Homo-oligomer: A and B are copies of this chain.
Amino acid sequence: MPTTTSASGSRPGGRSARVRAQVLEATGAQLVEHGYDGLTVDAVAERAGVHRTTVYRRWRDIGGLLADLLDAAGDDGWEPADTGTLEGDLTALNEEILAGVAADPPLTTALIAASFRSAQAARALRAFWEDRYARCAVVVVRAEQRGELPPGTRSRELLVTATAPMYHELVLLGTPPDPHLPATAARTAALAARAGAFTGP
């Protein structure tokens, strides 16, 4: 579930799209370099080389900029890897989360921190994550089709079980990134799923 600074997405070119890409890239860069306290509309406008009234008119404030940055990040056509096994798919997902959280510049961590400051950013981040979980439902469908999982396995619950230890360890507990964690958390969730944790009432 990587978040990217690129706002290019699927939109065709044109001045409006170019301005959006410049402004959102400046928003991410400013956040990462100066933190939420250094993130002002004026600083973003200057960094993007765009008139400040353009930014105020289109995004209104920092919350609007962060929400649009997250909307654009979600607009990237991302799909989970298809490795041929449930455990492999979940491991690949967790590897992406690890890469995102440990990335330099630390945009993902900065966006999570910003979500504690701006309700609009928090809503956008949560929508981004829920969209990623929805896209990952196919991982569970494929595992059911291969007979790896019982039919009717609740995908979101399984996916939260697989990924929550990543966020808990890396973001809240702040443990140093463990290269084995993506695979062990994936294996744990797969074992629980096969034992019936996500089926039944």
Interface residues of A, Cβ cutoff 8 Å to B: 112-113, 115-116, 122, 126, 129-130, 157, 160-161, 163-165, 167-169, 171-174, 184-185, 187-189, 191-192, 194-198
Contact = CB atoms under 8 A, between A and B. Distances in A.
* Residue of A122, A165, A169, A192 with most chain B CB atoms under a 10 A cut-off: A192
A126 to B, nearest CB: 5
Given A188-B192, A191-B197, A197-B187, A163 B174 contact: no
A191 B185 CA distance: 14
Nearest to A191: B195
B172 A167 contact: yes
Contacts of A197: 184, 187-188, 191-192
Contacts of A185: 161
A172 B171 contact: yes
Contact of A195 (B113, B163, B165, B194): B194
Contacts of A112: 116, 172
Contacts of A129: 172-173
Nearest to A130: B173
Nearest to A123: B174
B160 A165 contact: yes
A97 to B, nearest CB: 11
A168 B157 contact: no
Contacts of A161: 161, 165, 185, 188
Contacts of A191: 191-192, 195-197
